[in-house]
Copies of this chain bind each other. A is one copy, B any other.
């Protein structure tokens, strides 16, 4: 089938999905759990085909690891779907209820967005997770997985599709799989059918999607996150948080890449830091290097996402200078301050133009699960639609419904009637 035809069918399905009750959506998800459990052996067999292919190819160690499915990973997949079943329905929430006049009542209700295009690399578990979230939120999804996971994706997709379509005819065609790189080029042109693109993978993937489509894109390209140690910081806390934010999991987007430290505290805090972070390669500015051993940082270091045990360090003379550095070199993802002074913390959190701003805690908390959003659809560095960690709410939009008894605008324009605009709580 041609991609455009798949997208058209997904669009049609999305109109039916919008009025599918929660019960049916959860039944379809339960059925997916059943089918995955029953077909465990087949899934593993298909996955081993991908692994065999990968051994011959040139997959990196970490990509190969992500590709592997085993019993434990399948259990996690199933547990993930069960988590989604337990989430409340994101659709049908009344966001506003307002009497415009007697018997003329406006409501604003959450509804699915429509058709979501998802592009992900390697990990076949991403297919299951994002499909469950789309199904729960009443969206149709067009899925494009990495070619290295071809067989794994096909079997998982087939099980999910069957679970949905056998539960309720309304789900027919609501999940679509596309497989080739050329298909992506086609997908990105279909803004008449696809409402939102979610790329999941490397910064390069996200950037290339953003640059080649007019469809809205939910995702973050980079996580150049900062920790600023203020002159009123507790040095011990500062070092502990810096260690957590850099070393607990350096490969992820919400770990820090640059540490800014106030000049008044630098002589005290930097030696402590160098000791605690002794496994980290430090790159400092001039003033930093007068205090501790570090490579010389260049302009490029300030805007680099290392995703590794490397940390750039700069000594600043004021909170303003720290804020200005972050707004200049950062990626508007997550940035934190350590200070004992609430006013200075508020100033920092207000002026730093990032999706998440932290005070006296680790940047690593910026995450949908830790924020209690139930499930993470993605993290967004956009300001439009959804920002920061995005939960199921990010897969919904809203609709205005107005109910009257033959009300005419002419009566209000001519002054015969007046609006009351009374909100109902």
Binding site for B on A (CB under 8 A): 15, 18-19, 98, 100, 104, 106, 113-114, 195-196, 210-211, 214, 216, 234, 237, 240-241, 244, 248-249, 327, 345, 347, 349-351, 353-362, 364-366, 370-372, 382-385, 387-389, 397-410, 412-413, 419, 421
The residue that A384 contacts in the complex, of B359, B370, B385, with Cβ under 8 A, is B385
- Is there an interface contact between B371 and A400, defined as CB atoms closer than 8 Å? yes
The secondary structure that dominates the A interface is mixed
- Is there an interface contact between A356 and B402, defined as CB atoms closer than 8 Å? yes
- What are 10 A-B contacts with C-beta separation under 8 Å? A19-B347, A240-B408, A244-B408, A355-B399, A355-B400, A356-B399, A357-B399, A358-B402, A360-B406, A384-B397
The smallest beta-carbon distance between A335 and chain B, in angstroms, is: 11
Which residues of the other chain, B, contact A400 by a CB distance below 8 angstroms? 355-357, 366, 371, 387-389
Given the known inter-chain contacts A195-B384, A387-B397, A397-B383, please indicate yes or no for A371 contacting B214, CB distance below 8 A. Answer: no
Which residues of the other chain, B, contact A347 by a CB distance below 8 angstroms? 19
The residue that A402 contacts in the complex, of B19, B196, B249, B361, with Cβ under 8 A, is B361
- Is there an interface contact between A370 and B412, defined as CB atoms closer than 8 Å? yes
- Is there an interface contact between A362 and B409, defined as CB atoms closer than 8 Å? yes
> What residue in chain B is nearest A236 (Cβ atoms)?
B406
For the complex, what is the distance from the CA of A272 to the CA of B106, rounded to whole Å? Answer: 29
> What residue in chain B is nearest A218 (Cβ atoms)?
B384
For the complex, what is the distance from the CA of A248 to the CA of B408, rounded to whole Å? Answer: 9
The smallest beta-carbon distance between A418 and chain B, in angstroms, is: 11
Known interface pairs A356-B400, A365-B407, A388-B399; 16 further A-B residue pairs with C-beta atoms within 8 A, sorted by A's residue number: A106-B372, A196-B383, A216-B384, A216-B385, A240-B408, A249-B409, A359-B402, A359-B404, A360-B405, A361-B406, A362-B408, A365-B404, A372-B421, A385-B385, A387-B398, A389-B400
The residue that A98 contacts in the complex, of B195, B372, B402, with Cβ under 8 A, is B372
For the complex, what is the distance from the CA of A419 to the CA of B369, rounded to whole Å? Answer: 10
Which residues of the other chain, B, contact A366 by a CB distance below 8 angstroms? 400, 402
- Is there an interface contact between B354 and A399, defined as CB atoms closer than 8 Å? yes
The residue that A195 contacts in the complex, of B216, B383, B388, B413, with Cβ under 8 A, is B383
The smallest beta-carbon distance between A334 and chain B, in angstroms, is: 9
Given the known inter-chain contacts A372-B419, A408-B241, please indicate yes or no for A357 contacting B401, CB distance below 8 A. Answer: yes
- Is there an interface contact between A365 and B397, defined as CB atoms closer than 8 Å? no
- Is there an interface contact between A403 and B359, defined as CB atoms closer than 8 Å? yes
- Is there an interface contact between B370 and A100, defined as CB atoms closer than 8 Å? yes
- Is there an interface contact between B360 and A410, defined as CB atoms closer than 8 Å? no
Which residues of the other chain, B, contact A359 by a CB distance below 8 angstroms? 401-404
- Is there an interface contact between B384 and A196, defined as CB atoms closer than 8 Å? yes
Given the known inter-chain contacts A195-B383, A384-B385, A400-B356, please indicate yes or no for A15 contacting B351, CB distance below 8 A. Answer: yes
The smallest beta-carbon distance between A165 and chain B, in angstroms, is: 20
